[in-house]
Chains A and B, each alone.
Chain A
Amino acid sequence: MAHLELSRVVKRFDETTILHGIDLRVEDGEFIVFVGPSGCGKSTLLRVISGLESPTAGDILIDGVNVNAVSAAHRGCAMVFQSYALYPHMTVYDNMAFGLENLGEDKAEIQAKVASAAAQLRLQELLQRKPTQLSGGQRQRVAIGRAIVRQPKLFLFDEPLSNLDAELRVSMRSELRELHARLQATMVYVTHDQVEAMTLADRIVVLRAGKIEQVGTPLALYNQPANEFVAGFIGSPRMNFIPAELLRQSAPALVQPAHSHTVGLRPEHVLVNDSGPLSYQVQQVEQMGSTSLMRGTLCSNMPNTAPGNEQTHFEVVCQGQTAVQPGQTVRLSMPPAALHFFDEHGLRLQELNT
């Protein structure tokens, strides 16, 4: 258990700056997830924390101690890699015992610790196997087992589930949650999958191009995205963005903040409603049974020359099954509380009612 503090961490490779001054505080026992599109620097940030890369500038503090000059081995972190990085020539037991052997612990103690970690992860049957004889999920568990035997202060996960198939990913996700609840350890988790981020995290850190866009609990990010990027990144299917002008034309009754430029609306908050203000041309309908997803464009009654008159793609999720057919035009309405307003720089404008 440890808390982690990053202050103005910068990482440069030659001329390219990957991280532009990251400030972050991770509390004891917190499960924090770094999420962002590929190339946003989230993995680099994790490697800087682990000590595998050193920061170009800035400080990293674990439990209040500056560890900039401490090597990866001595920071007390354990890392689970995307490719698992199991030693292929060693058995599962040796893989898990390797770190303890390096610390010079005695044999009996190593055996006890490995046995208890193996029991937690249901690996007892597999201890004498080689990694190549294991399935993906089993390898993943061995990789986690290798991390937990050493009882590290800080767990680092680098996209650990991305090599698993969808079904296994869901079950591993709940296993990870359970593990976190049991160990009460501080965990930092990197992923590009926002569903993973939403389901696992105590707090999510959204990164873009080496900068933190927003930090907050999953629901805070969903309900109050700080900017258009976070709004678009969190939530599935993506949030719809409508030019504010279009909304002013179609729904003049709706009051908008003064500098509103773009309006965000999540597909699941839209209602199909014959008296709604928006006219919507449906192009595709995906029936999932429990929900239905419609894809199409908003029709505007603005003159063709008006700005923002490009066809606006729009998605709608309805609960249950819908009778709407592709090609049909329907009318949509939306609760005013579900609207997110952004200015021309993409920053969130305060809601009207607050």
Chain B
Amino acid sequence: MLKFLTRSRGFKRFDWTDWLSYLYLSVGLFTMFAPILWLVMSSLKTESALSQFPPTFLPYTQKTVQVAGFDKPLPLFMTRDDQGVQRPMAQVRRIGIMATMVDPARPEAPIQVNINDRKPVNELKFAFANYTELFGKFNFGLYLWNSVFITVVATLLTLLINSMAAFALSKYKFQGQKTVFVLIIATLMIPPTIVLVPVFLVINSVGLLNSLWGVILPAIATPTGVFLLRQYMLTIPDELLEAARMDNASEWRIYWKIVLPLSAPALAVLAIFSVMWRWNDFLLPLIVLSRSEFFTLQLALNSFQGELNTQWNYLLAMTVITLVPITLVFAFLQKYITTGIASAGVK
């Protein structure tokens, strides 16, 4: 590991270019990864720890002690008396700047302490309850199911529709083939937000509002996907299709048995992209799905942000959960993404 991390440009000693690249990489790693790390750490903090100022990186919470005669555990402070002797004491109640505190060992003798003379005793504690409570508190399972359903179905349909379009555009010669292709590519220039209102009107008029299909159907045909697959399919030799034609294969069988399996690398890339797009999609679900039983995780996240009160600890925990699938997809398939993009783009 250390050997890997201190690899240099082939010289025995570190060259200045090595320093420069490591600096660049560290800065990049920090800017990319620090917010994620902060998010994960914060998701493990209790609500009170989140509102603490200055914020801490690690999830510290105030230590509490069970004192005889009190029902609830009391927060523990380190107090300093007139002689400067430090003692851990539990706070019973606080009025203004004076707090009533007891020694946990002798709960029968409470004393008054100025709040400037005490410091909270913190301990490192991971609030996994943020995660466990999430499942009981909200309809998390339903949101997850909605998200998964939309992602999986939309991805499968995207692959099917786009590969069919790409097959036609790359392997058939017909009048207006170039025009169609250019038109499809041209739609890349239109930002999705611009067509949001027309899309909404169409979804509304076909009665797909508040239906998961209303999110799936508008998104399945993507110019990026068509382009990616077409470029890849151009590299499949025509002779293979001709051989299949001589082998009595129907055009559908040529597509299904020859072209699709051979485009697997490009399909993998598109699948990964599509999963990321659909999973992270927010705007379209937001306008199409307004009833909470159809919410996706992203919408549920948004709904946590109440007008008056936001439960940040749950919000953060849920954010982490929504990040996990996409991170896993990326971590395991990134090899295909890079090779797929390279092969689909260059050739």
Question: Footprint of B on A, CB under 8 Å?
Answer: 50, 52, 71-74, 77-79, 81-83, 85-89, 98-99, 102-103, 146, 150
Q: Is B257 an interface residue (CB 8 A)?
A: yes
Verify A102–B242 contact, CB threshold 8 A: no
CB distance from A96 to the nearest CB of B (A): 10
User: A52 to chain B: which residues have CB within 8 Å?
Assistant: 242, 245-246
Q: Is B262 an interface residue (CB 8 A)?
A: yes
Which residue of the partner chain, among A50, A74, A98, contacts B244 with CB atoms under 8 Å? A98
User: A85 to chain B: which residues have CB within 8 Å?
Assistant: 237, 239-240, 242-243
Q: Is B250 an interface residue (CB 8 A)?
A: yes
Verify A98–B257 contact, CB threshold 8 A: yes
Which residue of the partner chain, among A71, A81, A89, contacts B243 with CB atoms under 8 Å? A81
Verify B246–A102 contact, CB threshold 8 A: no
User: A83 to chain B: which residues have CB within 8 Å?
Assistant: 237, 239
Verify B253–A102 contact, CB threshold 8 A: yes
User: B96 to chain A: which residues have CB within 8 Å?
Assistant: none
CB distance from A144 to the nearest CB of B (A): 13
Closest A residue to B262 using CB positions: A89
Residue from the set A89, A103, A150 with the largest chain B CB neighbour count within 10 Å? A89
Q: Is B249 an interface residue (CB 8 A)?
A: yes
User: B258 to chain A: which residues have CB within 8 Å?
Assistant: 87
Verify B248–A99 contact, CB threshold 8 A: yes
User: B54 to chain A: which residues have CB within 8 Å?
Assistant: none
Which residue of the partner chain, among B239, B240, B247, B264, contacts A102 with CB atoms under 8 Å? B247
Given contacts A88-B262, A89-B262, whether A73 and B248 have CB atoms under 8 Å apart is yes
User: A102 to chain B: which residues have CB within 8 Å?
Assistant: 247-250, 253
CB distance from B267 to the nearest CB of A (A): 13
User: B239 to chain A: which residues have CB within 8 Å?
Assistant: 81-83, 85
User: B250 to chain A: which residues have CB within 8 Å?
Assistant: 102
User: A89 to chain B: which residues have CB within 8 Å?
Assistant: 261-262, 264
Given contacts A85-B239, A87-B240, whether A77 and B246 have CB atoms under 8 Å apart is yes
Q: Mark B228-262, 1 if CB is under 8 A from A, else 0.
A: 00000000010110111111111001000110011
User: B249 to chain A: which residues have CB within 8 Å?
Assistant: 73, 98-99, 102
User: B247 to chain A: which residues have CB within 8 Å?
Assistant: 73, 98-99, 102, 146, 150
Alpha-carbon separation in the docked complex, A78 to B239 (Å): 13
Residue from the set B244, B250, B253, B264 with the largest chain A CB neighbour count within 10 Å? B244
CB distance from B316 to the nearest CB of A (A): 46
Closest B residue to A80 using CB positions: B243
Alpha-carbon separation in the docked complex, A79 to B246 (Å): 7
Alpha-carbon separation in the docked complex, A82 to B240 (Å): 11
Alpha-carbon separation in the docked complex, A83 to B248 (Å): 19
Between A and B, 7 residue pairs with Cβ closer than 8 Å are A71-B245, A72-B245, A83-B239, A85-B242, A89-B262, A99-B247, A150-B248
Verify A81–B248 contact, CB threshold 8 A: no
Residue from the set B247, B249, B264 with the largest chain A CB neighbour count within 10 Å? B247
Alpha-carbon separation in the docked complex, A88 to B236 (Å): 11
Residue from the set A74, A87, A103 with the largest chain B CB neighbour count within 10 Å? A87
Alpha-carbon separation in the docked complex, A176 to B245 (Å): 24
